[in-house]
Amino acid sequence: MSTDVTAKTPAPAPSGKGGGTADGGLWGLVLEGMRRNMRQYGMLIALGLIVALFAVWTDGDLLLPRNVSNLVLQNSYILILAIGMMLVIIAGHIDLSVGSLTAFVGALAAVFMVKNDMPWPVAVLLCLAIGALAGSVQGFLIAYGGIPSFIVTLAGMLVFRGLTEIFLEGQTLGPFPKGEQKIGIGFLPEVGPETNYHNLTLLLGLVLIAAVLLQEIRDRRRQLSFSLDVLPRNLFLLKLVAVTAAILTVTLLLASYKGTPIVLLILGVLVVGYSYVMRNSIFGRHIYAIGGNLPAAKLSGVKDKKVTFYVFLNMGMLAALAGLVVAARLNAASPKAGLNFELEAIASAFIGGASMSGGVGTVLGAIIGGLVLGVLNNGMNLLSVGTDWQQVIKGLALLAAVGFDVWNKRKVGS
């Protein structure tokens, strides 16, 4: 009966284990810490390696301020989709319609603003509402109609693609009014004295660093008060330094070009907001519960249908947002917009730690997964790798990420 707990207590800081050198000890701690959250740390390290590799291969071009700025703009819509997709996949479903829905909303935006001269704020809100409506129709069929999400959204993929072409009459429509364009390609305005950097971006960067540090320290304090295992002190400091350095680097790179893209700000709000919802709200808990064990969730009184419905409604709304960003970026609505976006979003979620069977994953993971793909894309473009080989390599990256996870789980032992 003393063997009641089969799990070993996670090894507490093996400080001075074997009396190794301070350096070796610290490295041991880093490894130990990473093993606990292998998939996400693994992907974070993979992301770092990919960035480093391409920085070397492109003779530093990858990290030129202009390119970093571009990288954000290029990948923002996939990242927006990846957030929604992560929720869908955690709930145990899939959404194949988001690429088409992105194009469809872009087309509507063009019809509203370009053809009918609707004021852009109204049109944007209307587009978001229509996206939510499209998502809720699919969500209704899946949750209450009992039709598998794969089928409903496969149908949606065809329907919305077709509707896009119908609305655009096969043409490309543009250009968009200035306000709408800003969503996709705009930057925060410059304020304050003339420096070599974008002042507002520097300020935002510093605020972000302060907020992250504060949050980390508060978390650690709280975990200590719960007498939980925390990172050992020196490792924790190392983490803080690393995080600060990463944010500072990106801030400086952006600030030395045109500053903070507006879409990055939107993305930041989404990441923080959705992370909070998934972690702290009842709704978020219920998403994990129905994905982790649907029968148990039902017997616990979770309204599984309602939750599923809202997850898809939300996905539709985010797809609409992505559609607006894409349209703004291209400054036109095209029938071929958003092609294969659903696959990139799904791949991002899986690279970032989602599981086919649902119940697992984080919003931040989806972002990391999306960035892995994004940097691969961008880096290979800089190296003039053809799209043919780009696809091969991205496919292999997805396979490697999930394969590694499967292998790692098996090794740890079921």
Binding residues (CB under 8 A) for another protein: these are 1, 3-7, 9-10, 222, 226-229, 280-283, 285-286, 288-289, 292-293, 295-303, 359-360
Cβ 18 to another protein shortest distance, Å: 24
Cβ 95 to another protein shortest distance, Å: 22
Cβ 6 to another protein shortest distance, Å: 6
Cβ 406 to another protein shortest distance, Å: 15
Which residues of 96-214 form beta strands (DSSP E)?
Answer: none
Nearest residue (CB) to another protein, 93 versus 286: 286
Nearest residue (CB) to another protein, 206 versus 214: 214
Cβ 1 to another protein shortest distance, Å: 4
Nearest residue (CB) to another protein, 49 versus 282: 282
> Who contacts 146 (Cβ-Cβ below 8 Å, separation ≥6)?
none
Nearest residue (CB) to another protein, 170 versus 226: 226
Give me the helix-helix angle, 233-255 and 22-36, nearest 10°. Answer: 80
CA distance 180 to 381: 28
**DSSP SS3 for 261:** strand
Nearest residue (CB) to another protein, 120 versus 309: 309
Cβ 360 to another protein shortest distance, Å: 6
Cβ 80 to another protein shortest distance, Å: 23
Closest CA to 149 of 135, 157, 136, 138: 138
Report residue 21 as tokens: 């050198």
> Who contacts 272 (Cβ-Cβ below 8 Å, separation ≥6)?
none
Q: Which long-range contacts (CB under 8 A, 24 or more apart) does 233-236 make?
A: 234/26, 234/29, 235/26, 235/29, 235/30, 235/33
Closest CA to 375 of 400, 348, 349: 348
Nearest residue (CB) to another protein, 233 versus 409: 409
Nearest residue (CB) to another protein, 1 versus 191: 1
Closest CA to 155 of 171, 142, 168: 142
